[in-house]
Amino acid sequence: MADLTIQGLTKRFGGVTAVEDVNLHVADGEFVTLLGPSGCGKSTTLAAVAGLDRADGGRIQVGDRVYFDAARGIYLPPEARSCGLVFQSYALWPHMTVADNVAFPLTLRKVSSAERKRRIEEVLALVEMERYAGRYPHELSGGQQQRVALARTLVYRPAILLLDEPLSNLDAKLRDRARAWLAELRTRLGLTTIYVTHDQIEALSLSDRIVVMNGGHIAQIGAPQEIYEHPADPFVADFIGTTNFLPARVLGEASAGGRALLELADGQRLEAVAERPAAAGSRVTLAFRPEQMHVAPPGARMEGGSVLATRVTSRSYVGGQWQVGLDLAGAALRLEARQPPTEDRLDLWLPHVGGILFRGGADVAA
């Protein structure tokens, strides 16, 4: 096992820049997740680490082995890197049984047949697939294939483990089970791992740190809680589950940590704690998660928050509760409520603390 250093990684496909200036250090035994929307360059980054695509610039080092260094013209072919890569498609070889699939990397390493047999048994037991050794991939379910793909990678003890959306082909229920299983396995093995996903729940529950990517760049790196509670920009906030954005103008200036007085487009006012200083007159965007907002009882003034008049645009039952669409000064909000609203107008309670204030107008959250 070893640590991984990526410096200034850049990869272009023709005129398209898929990844630009990515810098990342993954410590020995650390589990880091690349999170981001489709096409943001997650797979491209993994492929560059595994050596499947030759990057255009930058440097990649694992332990004391330099995998790639554009400046010095170093490029190790994938077979010389000892990475373990589990593909989104699993890529099990259809003409080989489970045991043959797992045996392949050992045969390449000239492991004696007795030792090979022992290790295949061991790794199949680890992924709880020992009963399926004689089956062909097409005779397995998606979840079972995923385990075999993992076993095939673990069996040769790779220096680092790269997982490209390993759960995305499973149905919701199986994915929950597989995630729990993976979390347990990860604490047992302690491999240096990069995990790619665009599922924020997977990212939050599995990772030591999360790398949020956007358009080939790194938007933020941090521990799950940090990313969730202190997103660096509206994009990260949006991606990590904050779905309500309110464009506003700062009336009363606020220093870092202080309260700012904001005015919405329709003249309603509210207060919010600003983590970063916001100048009077500047345009800002206030972000809330659905669970932070509540319906205010009619006519009530509530402590610790602001009450705002909104218009109801939609209501739908989502099991156990209602999802209510609101229009507040031209911004579309989503609220979770126990009861469906009975009227077209609704008073909304927003806490002073807990929302996140970003600089910039409505377009930053788009």
Ligand X SMILES: Nc1ncnc2c1ncn2[C@@H]1O[C@H](COP(=O)(O)OP(=O)(O)OP(=O)(O)O)[C@@H](O)[C@H]1O
Residue 94 touches which of another protein, Mg ion, ligand X, none (Cβ within 5-8 Å per kind): another protein
Is residue 93 within 8 Å of residue 104, measured between CB atoms? yes
Q: In terms of CB distance, is 80 or 332 closer to another protein? A: 80
Residue 152 touches which of ligand X, Mg ion, another protein, none (Cβ within 5-8 Å per kind): another protein
Binding residue (CB under 8 A) for another protein from 2, 66, 133, 221: 2
Residue 81 touches which of Mg ion, ligand X, another protein, none (Cβ within 5-8 Å per kind): another protein
Binding residue (CB under 8 A) for another protein from 44, 45, 61, 82: 82
Residue 114 touches which of another protein, Mg ion, ligand X, none (Cβ within 5-8 Å per kind): none
Q: In terms of CB distance, is 105 or 231 closer to another protein? A: 105
**338 is a site residue for another protein (CB under 8 A):** no
Q: Which of 215, 211, 226 is nearest to 30 (CA)?
A: 211
Q: At what angle do helices 113-126 and 98-108 cross, to 10 degrees?
A: 130
Residue 304 touches which of ligand X, Mg ion, another protein, none (Cβ within 5-8 Å per kind): none
What's the Cα-to-Cα distance from 38 to each of 176, 196, 216, rounded to whole Å? 21, 11, 11
CA distance 149 to 153: 6
CA distance 188 to 206: 13
The interface with another protein within residues 249-278 (CB under 8 A) comprises: none
Site track 185-214 with another protein (rule: CB under 8 A), x = hit: ---xxxx-----------------------
**136 is a site residue for another protein (CB under 8 A):** no
Binding site for another protein (CB under 8 A): 1-2, 50-52, 76-85, 87-89, 91, 93-95, 104-105, 108-110, 122-123, 126, 152-154, 156-159, 188-191
